[in-house]
Amino acid sequence: MKKLVLCSVLLLCAFTAYTQSSITISGTVKSLASGKGIPNVSISIQQTNQGVITDEKGRYSISLEKGNYNILFSAISYQEVIENIILDRESQILDVTLKKSITGLEEVLINGGNHKINKEVLSVNKLGVKNIDIPVTTNSINGEMMLQRNVSDIGDAVKSVTGVRPINRYGGFQTFRIRGFNNFVLLVDGVRDERHNISTSAPSTNLASVERIEVLKGPAGVLYGHSALGGIINIVRKKPTHNQKANFKATYGSYDTYNIEGGIGGPVSDKLRYRVDVGITRTKGWRDYGVATNNGSLMLDYTLSANDNLKFYFQANKDIYDTDTGIPVNENSSVISGMDPETRYNDPQDYLKHKRFDYQINYSHDFNSNLKISNLLSYSNDDIDYLSTEFLEVNPTKDSITRAFPFYFNHQTKTLQNQLDLSYKFKTSTIEHKALLGNSISILDRKTFRGEVIGPGTFTTISIQNPTLNQGHIEAIDNQVDIKEEIVYALYLQDWIKFSNKFKALIGLRYDTFTGTYYRDSIDNNRDLITPGARTEIPSSSFSYRAGIVYQPIKDMVSIFASYSNYFKPSRRVTPDGAIFDPETGFQNELGIKFQKNDLFTATFSAYYMLKNNIVEKTSVDNYQQIGSADSKGIELDIESKPVKGLYIKAGYAFVDAKIRDYNKILQTIPAGNRLPYAPKNSINFWGNYEFQKGFLQGLGTGLGLNYVDKNFTNSSNTYTLPAYTTVDGSLYYKAKKVRIGLNINNIADTLYFTDAIYSNQFFPGQGRNYKLSLAYNF
């Protein structure tokens, strides 16, 4: 398989046959009405992936190979213009005049610099089709909103996405519930992060290198493979630009928290561009739950020729978290008398350490403006080292706690992936097509070292009030290793079809073959083999498909859509007695309507039904059982608006009715009709921001945010309830040219609320009132 991956890359690189000298095009883009230069005009070279934006006076400059090009000039409130130019001499001048548009810009690409209404082409759909033209529900959080809310981790960012519930578990493990289910696929620039599909959660480093976060709701296996029932979360990192750009931000806040992040990028030569980002976070933390994250990334973008491009991306992080296993509560879900929710009862020696190295090489070749081939090769080496006092057992008099279950593991995960895509735009009679044909290969090798936790500090008892947390030394001793070896090969086809201006459709088909080999070896504390374990092989295969239709009674303004897509997740569980389970399967039906009005307003309303079969549930520390099926019915409303200049509003409401179904009465241990864990019926998110545009207050801005989460259960038995809560956040900032000074206050009312639980009855308190002061500089 590795040879096959390397061969595919070598074949693609054969297209880079020649290199030519570059030529500079420059000019000014002016308004026809005023004759003045237009700033922030997007200039895209259609035969390449290159582009540039005009400066404050409408000027631009870009270097290309000799050749024939179509150049697209587009700006909000102006009609698009495409100019053809033949480059055959040292430099050329191309001035362009744009005419005002009644309908405004049809397509907006997020660049993280300003708020953009959600009309953009999201990279997660791979087809380059506008949001209003596809029968799926998508959301995104851009860099401007992350700056306004001053978020530094993916969970805080995604809480502004309707229907998505982020959960931070054990102190550093991030997971998400989308439309009631915890089956999602996390992507980084379109590459799967397989850790979430094995364990449903994994650490994620700070957001210093992140430009935006995209979310595609519902099953998305056609493009990205198995395990995506709730949806796709795609982290899009910052890319090199054709102009020199740099940014810096420093933050200090409550709990002795500080964040420093900075990045710089631009052209090295006419052909080579770069981007470097660095991020550091330190905090003693709410409840003395400390975090220290460190990451750095480098991206190189090299234009080999007018039709060939090569990108290289490297990112590394080294993070440490103090684990947090919450506070035990009473059987009625109330806080135990005398227990302080701000006290963390874990052993101070507990830890979660995360190291990761990511590499991506992306090569693309444009045969012409309609046919393109690309190959994305990626490799990651991930190490998660964890030791935590997980189970906190309250004694009968409820005045002390015994640390009953010290738990240790070390996940070492290496993943090699390759995606080869051929995209083709063509016509059959008068019907337009945008088709994508591809294959993908994934090779995963995961070793999980486990063992005992020993020392005088284990299984100790501490007082609930004023506890002595350090009760003596603890350490982990390895004695076994669980090994997962997986190979997934897939072929897929997706076609977006435009029958007319009013009718569009999307169809897709994918075939996956999955082979997993699982075994447990006995080892000594030096991790040398003692006794090899019996190997269990679990092969499976599946067809994934998607079909949807779009009807637009008003072109580029109103879109009514309906879609159907299915879901598949291979079985990876092997019980101690060698039993394996059937793969999970499911589907989603969705009906919705999208509305957009220029750059002023966009809204999506959708109703859906999702079903998941063959659910496997953990019944003890090392045992699982297939209990049945569950479904989720719901509606979502998502709104973005810029009603007046300087005002931005993003709001959403989600209703989710996610329940256990009566599937197999013999195996089913949970009553049908019980609600799925961590799936609140109602949730609301809101963020509003206003920045003064004129006068002596120009540059002063303020924001207000709200998050409401309905009550939800911590287990399928519905015996413990996380109460409903509402948090209110606010911001105040001032911008002057390139400098921004900001103040954020989160949980203004200092509400006591709980975000998650483990072992059903150990609740995680959310942060109390806290503040952040920030200074940002762009140059």
For residue 506, the domain's CATH number is 2.40.170.20
Q: What is the mean pLDDT of residues 52-80?
A: 83
Question: In this structure, what token pair is assigned to residue 18?
Answer: 């020649």
**For 654-667, how does the pLDDT look when each residue is reduced to its tens digit (9 = 90+)?**
999 999 887 555 55
Say which range, 47-56, 457-466, 609-618, has the weakest mean pLDDT.
Answer: 47-56
102 has a pLDDT exceeding 80: no
Dihedral, 223, 225, 227, 233 alpha carbons, nearest 10: -40
Q: What is the pLDDT of residue 579?
A: 72
Give me the chain's average pLDDT, please: 89
* Separation CA 588–CA 568 (nearest Å): 12
With respect to residue 134, please indicate whether it lies within any of the assigned structural domains: no
Instruction: Quote the DSSP letter at residue 676.
Output: P
Domain total of the chain: 2
Residue of higher predicted confidence among 661 and 444: 444
Question: In this structure, what token pair is assigned to residue 677?
Answer: 């864990």
With respect to residue 418, please indicate whether it lies within any of the assigned structural domains: yes
Q: What is the pLDDT of residue 15?
A: 35
12 has a pLDDT exceeding 70: no
With respect to residue 149, please indicate whether it lies within any of the assigned structural domains: no
| Residue 111: band (very low, low, confident or very high) from pLDDT cuts 50, 70, 90 | very low
| Residue 214: band (very low, low, confident or very high) from pLDDT cuts 50, 70, 90 | very high
4 has a pLDDT exceeding 60: no
| Residue 49: band (very low, low, confident or very high) from pLDDT cuts 50, 70, 90 | low
Q: What is the pLDDT of residue 10?
A: 38
With respect to residue 164, please indicate whether it lies within any of the assigned structural domains: no
113 has a pLDDT exceeding 60: no
Say which range, 240-254, 541-555, 563-577, has the weakest mean pLDDT.
Answer: 563-577
Burial of 597-627, coded b for 16+ CB within 10 Å and e otherwise, reads bbbeebbbbbebebbbbbbbeeeeeeebbbb
Q: What is the mean pLDDT of residues 401-428?
A: 95
* CATH number of 19's domain: 2.60.40.1120
- The model carries a pTM of 0.85
The answer for 685, left when phi > 0, alpha when psi is -120 to 50, beta otherwise, is: beta
**For 275-332, how does the pLDDT look when each residue is reduced to its tens digit (9 = 90+)?**
999 999 999 988 998 999 999 999 999 999 888 999 999 999 999 999 999 999 999 9
Residue of higher predicted confidence among 624 and 536: 536
Question: Any residues with CB less than 8 A from the CB of 429 and at least 6 apart, and which?
Answer: none
Q: What is the mean pLDDT of residues 123-130?
A: 80
Question: Among the three residues 105, 136, 166, which one is the final residue of a domain in this structure?
Answer: 105
Q: What is the pLDDT of residue 666?
A: 53
Q: What is the pLDDT of residue 367?
A: 93
- 3-state SS record for 707-751: EEECCEECCCCCCCEECCEEEEEEEEEEEECCEEEEEEEECCCCC
Question: In this structure, what token pair is assigned to residue 3?
Answer: 């040879």
With respect to residue 444, please indicate whether it lies within any of the assigned structural domains: yes
* Separation CA 470–CA 460 (nearest Å): 10
Question: In this structure, what token pair is assigned to residue 64?
Answer: 């290309």
Say which range, 35-49, 108-122, 708-722, has the weakest mean pLDDT.
Answer: 108-122
Q: What is the pLDDT of residue 24?
A: 83
With respect to residue 322, please indicate whether it lies within any of the assigned structural domains: yes
Q: What is the pLDDT of residue 89?
A: 66
| Residue 622: band (very low, low, confident or very high) from pLDDT cuts 50, 70, 90 | low
340 has a pLDDT exceeding 50: yes
Residue among 280, 140, 287 at smallest CA distance from 214 = 140
Question: Among the three residues 51, 78, 105, which one is the final residue of a domain in this structure?
Answer: 105
643 has a pLDDT exceeding 70: yes
Q: What is the pLDDT of residue 76?
A: 72
| Residue 445: band (very low, low, confident or very high) from pLDDT cuts 50, 70, 90 | very high
Q: What is the mean pLDDT of residues 216-241?
A: 91
Q: What is the mean pLDDT of residues 409-418?
A: 98
- Same domain as 570, residue 431: yes
Distances 32 to 36, 233, 361 between C-alpha atoms, Å: 8, 42, 43
Say which range, 86-95, 115-124, 263-272, 584-593, has the weakest mean pLDDT.
Answer: 115-124
* Residue 314 burial by Cβ neighbours in a 10 Å radius (0-12, 13-18, 19+): middle
- Same domain as 460, residue 599: yes
Question: Among the three residues 72, 105, 138, which one is the final residue of a domain in this structure?
Answer: 105
Question: Any residues with CB less than 8 A from the CB of 148 and at least 6 apart, and which?
Answer: 687, 689, 701, 703, 731, 733, 742
18 has a pLDDT exceeding 50: no
With respect to residue 293, please indicate whether it lies within any of the assigned structural domains: yes
Say which range, 17-31, 49-63, 429-443, 622-636, has the weakest mean pLDDT.
Answer: 17-31
**For 365-410, how does the pLDDT look when each residue is reduced to its tens digit (9 = 90+)?**
999 889 999 999 999 999 999 999 899 999 999 999 999 989 999 9
* Separation CA 418–CA 4 (nearest Å): 10
Q: What is the mean pLDDT of residues 330-348?
A: 93
The answer to whether 178 and 230 have CB atoms below 8 angstroms apart is: yes
**For 71-86, how does the pLDDT look when each residue is reduced to its tens digit (9 = 90+)?**
888 887 777 888 888 8
Q: What is the pLDDT of residue 19?
A: 35
Backbone phi, then psi, for 268, in 5-degree steps?
Answer: -95, -35
Query: What does the DSSP assignment read for 88-101?
Result: -SSEEE--EEE-B-
432 has a pLDDT exceeding 60: yes
Dihedral, 181, 418, 294, 272 alpha carbons, nearest 10: -130
* Separation CA 542–CA 529 (nearest Å): 36
> Domain range for residue 431?
233-778
With respect to residue 122, please indicate whether it lies within any of the assigned structural domains: no
Residue of higher predicted confidence among 58 and 666: 58
* Separation CA 246–CA 261 (nearest Å): 11
Question: In this structure, what token pair is assigned to residue 17?
Answer: 């046959």
